[in-house]
Amino acid sequence: TMHGYDQLKIANKKLLFIDKMLSPRTSAIVAVSRYDLGRMRADNYHPELIANGVNAQSNPPSDAPELVLALRLLENLRRQKSLIGLMIARPSSPKRPDLVREAARLLKGLCSIVWIGGNARSDDPGAFYALGPIPDAGRLIPFCDFVLLPSDHEGLPMTLLECLAAGKPFIASNVGGIPELIGNGYFTTAPGFAVNNSPEDFASAICSLAHDTELRNIMGENGKRLWERFYTAETMAAEYESLYNHYKQIE
């Protein structure tokens, strides 16, 4: 399974050569998004399409110290009646947390941005909280108001699927398979915003959510419906089982 073809195509070209050498030895190669499917076919792969899927988070965060501290911060912000945007992203390529950090500077405290994955800096804007890496951070998504994912390239991000499953709207970069999670006309109101990679565009989308509670609720509800229809772990597992059985019969 190719979890983000551009990670090889753009960021690891040497590994792409090795992958192409080994691919004829496989029974099947899987693309996780229609975007990746097209890119791989253009490079003479013959992939199958099986979208990523996730389970809904049914349990509260574990008692891991990092999760407990993060949840405490989210609860404190909630008591202060602050809108909370959650960004789960490592501080390295292809993720672009710098865009959201600068967007937070433009917002001047309109809402709180909590970043899981990177460390705080002395020049961080107000209401921007960098908590460092936290294992199993997806369990925090139900406790925020919206999710942010800035990136230069993506396949079909698991964080955004967890966001849909939790019934939360998202703001993410308009790259890779992310536009497929907008719903492609499936809804009148899309479950998220896919924006250009600029602090201004992220800030504008955040403002739209911050000033409209009804919009956030509708987007979240539509996202959960999209997840239930296309992106559950059960759907993904059934499609892999079908693919496996198909090639098992051929062999």
Are residues 91 and 114 located together in one domain of the fold?
Answer: yes
What confidence score (pLDDT) does residue 14 get? 77
Are residues 176 and 238 located together in one domain of the fold?
Answer: no
Render pLDDT for 173-187 as a digit per residue (tens, 0 to 9): 999 999 999 977 788
- Domain assignment present for residue 60? The answer is no
Angle at 7 between CA 6 and CA 8, to 5 degrees: 85
Report, as ranges of residue numbers, the positions in the chain whose pLDDT lies below 50.
none
Q: Is the dihedral of CA 45, 51, 55, 56 positive or negative?
A: positive
Render pLDDT for 115-130 as a digit per residue (tens, 0 to 9): 999 999 999 999 999 9
Residue 151, domain extent? 65-230
**pLDDT, mean over the chain:** 94
Phi, psi of 78 (to 5 degrees): -65, -40
Are residues 237 and 218 located together in one domain of the fold?
Answer: no
Tell me the one-letter amino acid at 129. Answer: Y
CATH (domain of 221): 3.40.50.2000
- Domain assignment present for residue 58? The answer is no
Are residues 163 and 242 located together in one domain of the fold?
Answer: no
Render pLDDT for 211-236 as a digit per residue (tens, 0 to 9): 999 999 999 999 999 999 999 999 99
What confidence score (pLDDT) does residue 115 get? 99
What confidence score (pLDDT) does residue 61 get? 66
Are residues 224 and 239 located together in one domain of the fold?
Answer: no
Total of domains in the chain: 2
Q: What is the pTM of this model?
A: 0.93
Q: Which residues contact 15 (CB under 8 A, 6 or more apart)?
A: 8
What confidence score (pLDDT) does residue 57 get? 79
Are residues 246 and 204 located together in one domain of the fold?
Answer: no
